[in-house]
Structure 1
Amino acid sequence: WFALLVLFYLHFSMRVGTAPICSSDGQAGCHVPPLADLFDRVIQQSSRMHGISSDLHSEFEQYFFPSGNIIGKRRCHTYDIITPDDKENAQRLGPEQLTEVILRLLVAWSDPLLPLPWSTLQDQSEDFNPQSHSKALEIPEMVDELKDGVQKMAERMKLEGVLGNTVGYISADSLVPSSTVSFYGQGELSPLYHHHDILYCLRRDSSKVKSYLCILKCTTLPELEC
């Protein structure tokens, strides 16, 4: 009997440990972590995404623009999304506004343009790091996972009365004036410059998302003493 009880306990523990996170109360077969844990999850995801995007940007410049002579428009397809330009302005936004800014940025990057055609670019440099291709392949899935995580976090904030019901589903069509492909493909510059602009913008926007999530956590849960 003791052996059977041990096996039952281990089986139950494994099932609980692998249960998915609930997106709302009443969902069967899932667990509801504390809001602080949900914040920690998305902040960790955003840190990883920003780290990879920064690595890709640096490696791209190192291999294709070692002289630092870069010509690009440096205008991102997310230019029409109004974002706070510093910590103080971000803190002045309410949780609904800041959450919506984060979701808008993430949805805007849910574009089939990524990953970039690294296999083609590798032919242009003998020293190109093949690991960059693997990193680029991770980006689309990371963006989607982070977006889903923030949406679940927002639902949890609504249940706890932190957010109102104004923060809802945001579609890519309602955000981006034109597709990312056509936006960065305009002009007569080499495709290398267009790819550089994409990586520059991805690094910039992923940094914003990471910072805004940290600020949102600290303003929503001041007892954590961030």
Structure 2
Amino acid sequence: MAQRKINGNQLFMTVLYAVAACGAVPISDLLDRASQRSDTLHSLSTMLTQDLDSHFPPIGRMIMPRPSMCHTSSLQTPNDKEQALQVSESDLMSLARSLLQAWSDPLEVLSTSVKTLPHPAQNSISNKIKELQEHSKSLGDGLNILSGKMGPAAQTISSLPYSGGNDIGQDRISKLTNFHFLLSCFRRDSHKIDSFLKVLRCRAAKLQPEMC
């Protein structure tokens, strides 16, 4: 199963590189492929959150940090689709790439921390975290190709360093709460990335705003 997923990612990149090399392929087709991958990424993060919710202590919800404490919160992004439609294509691509790159280290923290996570679905959660890393890497490579076709502004990356460290806590409540918080931040950002790419795909297809 794991080998099949890895091959799927490799196929995605092979196809993306191939179509990008062909000048006749519309950028809308490239964005469609990237949007499909981002949709998978967000769906997977949603499933992971649901897995954690099935065994999450009530006190954890009371002490969980606010969303404004996510390490990517300093990046100014559109709040909804209407605002996103007012942002230039290059800026939307830059925002999507900045958010995705900001999760390289935190996803590694989740991957390492899940090994000691006090949760009955630990193995399943661990496998899904690995899938998140694979899909994130694949999508990042794809967006690098797309940004190169969109000009210098789209290639700009905002630095959003993660300073949370590798330790998510020593006791059961801390581990579950901090793991859940970090994952919820990723779920929020993956939704933004998916939304930005869908707006870009919509614009490239020259659809009316109300159809986006």
TM-score normalised over the length of structure 2: 0.77
Determine the structure 2 residue equivalent to 1:62: 54
Q: 1:107-151: per-residue Cα shift (whole Å, max 9, x none)?
A: 101113242522211xx34x4253221101111221111111112
Determine the structure 1 residue equivalent to 2:114: 118
User: Cα–Cα, structure 1 residues 82 and 177, in superposed 2: closer, same or farther, change >3 Å?
Assistant: same
Determine the structure 2 residue equivalent to 1:46: 38
Question: After alignment, is 73-82 or 61-70 more displaced?
Answer: 61-70
- Contact 1:116–1:195 at 8 Å: present in 2 too? no
How far the C-alpha of 1:205 sits from its partner, in A, is 0.5
Residue 93 of structure 2 aligns with an amino acid whose one-letter code is T
- Contact 2:114–2:122 at 8 Å: present in 1 too? no
How far the C-alpha of 1:220 sits from its partner, in A, is 2.8
Determine the structure 2 residue equivalent to 1:221: 205
In structure 2, distance between residues paired with 1:151 and 1:192: 34
The ranges of structure 1 where at least 4 consecutive aligned residues each deviate by more than 6 angstroms after the TM superposition are none
How many residues align? The count is 191
List runs of 5+ in structure 1 lacking aligned partners: 1-17, 159-163
Query: Which structure has the larger Rg?
Result: 1
Residue 154 of structure 2 aligns with an amino acid whose one-letter code is V
In structure 2, distance between residues paired with 1:49 and 1:77: 19
TM-score normalised over the length of structure 1: 0.72
Determine the structure 2 residue equivalent to 1:72: 64
The two structures, once aligned, show a CA RMSD in angstroms of 2.9
- Contact 1:115–1:139 at 8 Å: present in 2 too? no
Determine the structure 2 residue equivalent to 1:13: none
Q: 1:49-77: per-residue Cα shift (whole Å, max 9, x none)?
A: 11111111111121133687442113211
Tell me which of 185, 203, 210 is aligned to 1:201.
Answer: 185
List runs of 5+ in structure 2 lacking aligned partners: 1-13
In structure 1, distance between residues paired with 2:131 and 2:184: 17
Paired-residue identity, %: 32
Residue 55 of structure 1 aligns with an amino acid whose one-letter code is M
In structure 2, distance between residues paired with 1:59 and 1:167: 35
Tell me which of 119, 139, 143 is aligned to 2:136.
Answer: 143
In structure 2, distance between residues paired with 1:191 and 1:98: 34
User: Cα–Cα, structure 1 residues 132 and 208, in superposed 2: closer, same or farther, change >3 Å?
Assistant: same
Determine the structure 2 residue equivalent to 1:108: 102
- Contact 2:28–2:204 at 8 Å: present in 1 too? no
Greater per-residue helix proportion = 2
- Contact 1:39–1:217 at 8 Å: present in 2 too? yes
The structure, 1 or 2, with the larger RCO (C-alpha pairs under 8 Å, 6+ apart) is 2
User: Cα–Cα, structure 1 residues 92 and 19, in superposed 2: closer, same or farther, change >3 Å?
Assistant: closer
